[in-house]
Structure 1
């Protein structure tokens, strides 16, 4: 970590930051001369900081606040080390951190530790998940009373339509995307293909597969921070909120994964298009956990506006081969690349919790070795399928009582998540849809 600062002598300030339960970066700014101290000793802030609501307020009656004296946790650097923050004018290094107790135990209310625990359980079985995510986001002009597509920096015109795979739309914001890719390279975020999507000013960028689930989630968390920061530098907003425009498709965060054994073989591959028995067991684990996991995949009031039939977001609990209307899709392609695509999460998720929920469910399925129902064919929206929870209230209740969730997440994280979402549910009910959009647009 010290070497990075030596190699980048222009750095004048540093940030240290961890992800709270909503995926919001919480941390501190400090002069660069204190970098050695923070890399050596870490830093401290209250454990309750990783359990704030979407407004950044304490959770009422949380045992992390008054009951415990709002005690500190110790935050130590992750293995990521420093990365630049190219959207700031001041040359700055960001040091991702995660939280521990004073005695060195991981604080299991930290979402990154939740994913690390799932990854460890795979490793204990000699298995390695290989993970990639696809992130959708909108570029938005939010300067006026209503949200609009930013004018093209090239033509000055606004294209008031969704343009799927439009080269013209990509070209209109070429300077932004060129700077974005350069920044991803500097931050070691493996950004791959960019496309325009079906929403107004909507785009998707794929991050390549990583044989390290923590690295993949780090990449997604940092990517969301980067895109939002860089968009503001260019004079508009970028948002990963689930549904900024009621009449257009929302943002998803699709996750692809396979699993390697100790010899590096893909255990989902049996040499056929169908895939192995283990593939189907993992699918069943994911299907079984969907109702309880919905609060992770759709964590906000606005999340449920995305989950409507026919809007490119799954609502039925089903799987299929090469079918994007299903919640679980098994893509076609070479047998050695056989994998699962989990399509339920919105772009507004905490990547650490979302990846942990998917992988934890898949591991439960592998352990239980139960087969799923038959794969569907055709339009999933037109079929009589069991449905995911359709409201925030239903998702909170399912998360609380789900035995699948209890297998994946520590009891402390489950408790903190429930308290957070119940407080947000209560307070968000007092706001109009426009006021909710204002809160979510930059935050999630």
Structure 2
């Protein structure tokens, strides 16, 4: 390990004498941060020698159970693999003054990246883009609900009590400033925590439903860094919510009659000179923009399992819900899956609106960049952009069930070229285990429907 790398830890410890412990974070296949907590005295050793984590971290379903279908559990002996700090990610934790945090990456014994780590998949896709002289400009928007942490098992969450009125919010208003005022201290703490960790959270807004908010991250010219920001922002939001005696949830569809939580990705592509190749002579953008749109459309069906990775994800796709339900695209149109915002010149970009807030940002951006690159290579024109209500468009190509999405992923032609066949098999096996486990549970609704009727 080079001395400059270790100096990062030594300098941090000198500047933060009050920090006594560190959370070591390794985001798993669902972007859930798995980890260990170490004492201050062990940090330098981690920088010099690394620390072991089981490879089965990348075989866990969203509840933390190892899916034996992946082969990373008992079949492999649940082997440990060395992990090392990611430079520049050592930060103080503002909501726990005595604690710091550090992102890790898993490496094979020969020093190569571990194949099952979604972050490394994105690194690999970005490398393919760089071979053409391109790099992506990425911004992530994340929606979530604030709810009362007290609830009975199996029951839907309740909106939080207003600190101003003492009552539960019964309806929401998009862009409501009064909702922002009600939760001003909470949002202020998020902003300050993000700023202290150099995470560019620059806008918060109230969404359509009561207690629903969106936090936007400023764009950065580094796709991996943008996704690091997204993963760490969710950690900040959850932790700050807990400090305010409320709970932040990113479940894609917590209420059947309210809008779901989405994860929107804004992306453009810069050449070696920093020129946005999507900009054209007018508000319709360049030929490359249209080719990129068609490329993203070409992987939309096979990447649906990434955009909507869980059973609940598919409840979000409802007509008129502001969650798209087809492979549509258009200019300045929020009913489509691929939106070109009302911009021109250097700000010309694509907004991908299909994914839920439960998506793994590393895999989501990997899929988008893979499609984008494919489109720029094949140079195929997309169909005409949709004007008006895209929910009226007939489209049977997009899989809108969990099982169909996995089938499309298993038959993918483009993504394995970018993700690697070994990773795709691992992800598929993980989802097979998760689906099997989920479907083995008999839910109360089944008793209501079938116990006395069939």
Normalised TM-score (structure 1): 0.95
CA distance in 2, matches of 1:432, 1:93: 42
Q: Does 1:235 align with 2:245?
A: yes
Aligned to 1:38: 46
Cα distance in structure 1, aligned partners of 2:98 and 2:164:
28
Counterpart among 162, 174, 179 of residue 164 in structure 1: 174
Shift of 1:108: 1.5
The Cα shift of 1:61 comes to 3.9
Work out the CA distance in 2 between the residues paired with 1:341 and 1:80: 28
How far apart, in 1, do the equivalents of 2:222 and 2:48 lie?
Answer: 25
**Could you tell me which of 37, 57, 68 is aligned with 1:60?**
68
Q: Which residue of 2 aligns with 1:124?
A: 131
1:312-351 to 2 correspondences below 5 Å? 312-351=322-361
> What's the CA shift for 1:319?
0.8
Distance 1:376 1:124 in 2: 33
Structure 2 gaps, min length 5: 1-7, 446-454
Matched, 1:176 2:180: no
Name the residue aligned to 1:442.
none
2: CA distance, partners of 1:410 / 1:87: 39
Alpha-carbon distance, 1:40 to partner? 2.0
Residue by residue over 1:329-364, the C-alpha shift from the partner in whole angstroms, topping out at 9 and shown as x without a partner, is 111123221110011110011111111111111111
- Contact 2:142-2:262 at 8 Å conserved across structures: yes
Matches within 5 A, 1:67-216: 67-88=75-96, 91-145=98-152, 146-216=156-226
Match of 2:227 in 1: 217
Change (3 A) 1:434 1:126: farther
Equivalent pair of 1:140/1:147 in contact (CA under 8 Å): yes
CA distance in 2, matches of 1:408, 1:345: 19
The equivalences for 1:247-258 within 5 A come to 247-258=257-268
User: 1:432: how far off?
Assistant: 6.3
Distance (whole Å) between structure 1 residues aligned to residue 71 and residue 254 of structure 2: 34
**Post-superposition, which runs of at least 4 consecutive aligned residues in structure 1 deviate over 6 A?**
432-435
Aligned-partner Cα distance in 1 for 2:139–2:258: 25
Aligned to 1:48: 56
CA RMSD of the aligned region, Å? 1.5
Cα shift at 1:117: 0.6
Corresponding residue number in structure 2 for 1:439: none
Aligned 8 A contact 2:329 2:339 in 1: yes
Helix, strand or coil at the partner of 1:291: coil
Tell me the CA shift for residue 218 of structure 1.
0.1
Aligned residues of 1:132 and 1:257 also touching (Cα < 8 A): yes
Whether the 8 Å CA contact 1:64–1:70 is kept in 2: the answer is yes
* Structure 2 residue 251 is matched with structure 1 residue 244: no
Whether the 8 Å CA contact 2:279–2:344 is kept in 1: the answer is no
* TM-aligned CA distance change 1:323 to 1:434, over 3 Å: farther
**Aligned equivalent of 1:422:** 432
Indicate the residue corresponding to 1:438 in structure 2: none
User: Is residue 252–residue 347 contact of structure 1 (8 Å, CA) maintained in 2?
Assistant: yes
* Residue matched to 1:441: none
Give yes or no for contact 1:317–1:386 (8 Å, CA) kept in 2.
no
Counterparts of 1:326 and 1:224 in 2: how far apart (Å)? 26
The answer to whether structure 1 residue 353 and structure 2 residue 360 are counterparts is no
Retained in 2: the 8 A contact 1:155–1:172?
no
> Whole-Å Cα distance in 2 between the matches of residues 416 and 160 of structure 1?
43
- The answer for the alignment partner of 1:383 in structure 2 is 393
How far is the alpha carbon of 1:434 from its aligned partner? 8.4
CA contact (8 A) 1:52 1:58 kept: yes
The more displaced of 79-88 and 52-61 is 79-88
